[in-house]
Amino acid sequence: MLSEVMSHVINVLMVSSIYVLVALGFALVFSVMRIMNFAHGAIYMIGGFVCYSFWIPLGLGPWVALPLTMVATGLFGLVLEKFCFRPFRKDFEKATIMAIALVIILKTGADLTVGPHGKSMPPLVSGNIHLGSVTFGADRLMVLLIACILLTVLMLFVKKTRFGQAMLAIAQDPDGAALMGINTDRISGFVCAMGCGLAGLAGGLVGSVLVLHVSIGDTMLVKVIGVIILAGIGSIGGVWAGGLAMGALDALGPYFLPNVVSDPLGLALVVLILVIRPQGFFGQEA
């Protein structure tokens, strides 16, 4: 019984950490650039397949493939910010259309290169961990640890460094930050690269425990938007609470309810929060 409970806890924390990892990148891009990057889920999907390419066909192994995936998707984020989003920074509608167009382009490209068949990668680490009478998979615990380390480093970077403070300043008042001498183009490029890098790395991590397929980006985008709404638009810290709530529903629901009931639980929670508390847990009205 205790082993099963611990296995559920690890699953909840792992799923939640992945949601938070992707949602934080989405939230930072929105807060700093004022853009709803609907291509974020597609970048997460592309990151999974990029990691697969580095890991399996090229034979680089997980500990080289994961950092390379983060770098590759981060550089892709730089290109997106400069050529796709920067020209429309002050035009929300056109930026949104551009993001939707990117989703179509990335998914079509993935369909043409990968095809409809799923891809799977070996676990990051094999075997189980035994703590007394408690046993759980080492691969899921490793994914959780990596995600938690990245999230901790990210939050410390945002709160403790001058670059992070510049990001927060732009998020609060872009015009005032520009008047104070902050290079908004440079910060925006960095934020987009960081958000895409985190999404790509999350895709690689998920690929080691689940099957990769082209549609996983659509599912993740829905989850991320749900997490942002639960957190509250503009609340970066609230993403943690929103991710934990969404992760708990998605990880525990299938164990206690039929799939037809458990799948929409997260969306049902989002709708309920919008009705009861439109500003989310900690933020502004969605």
Classify residue 178: in a domain, yes or no. Answer: yes
Q: Return the pLDDT at 262.
A: 67
Query: Distance between CA atoms of 265 and 246, rounded to whole angstroms?
Result: 9
The answer to whether position 282 is within a domain reads no
Q: What is the pLDDT of residue 232?
A: 76
Q: What is the pLDDT of residue 286?
A: 43
Residue linked to tokens 């989003």: 85
Q: What is the DSSP letter of 81?
A: I
Domain count of the fold of the chain: 1
Determine, yes or no, domain membership for 165.
Answer: yes
- The DSSP H or E segment spanning 159 is helix 138-160
Instruction: Determine, yes or no, domain membership for 106.
Output: yes
In contact, 46 and 274? CB cutoff 8 Å: no
Residues of the chain with pLDDT under 50: 285-286
pLDDT at site 131: 66
What CA–CA distance (Å, rounded) separates 257 from 252? 9
Confirm whether 236 is domain-assigned. Answer: no
- Which residues form the domain of 85? 2-214
How high is the pLDDT of residue 273?
A: 80
> Does residue 56 form part of some domain?
yes
- pLDDT at 104 (0 to 100): 95
pLDDT of residue 203: 95
Residue 273 is assigned to a structural domain of this protein: no
Within-domain flag for 86: yes
Helix (H) or strand (E) holding 134: strand 134-137
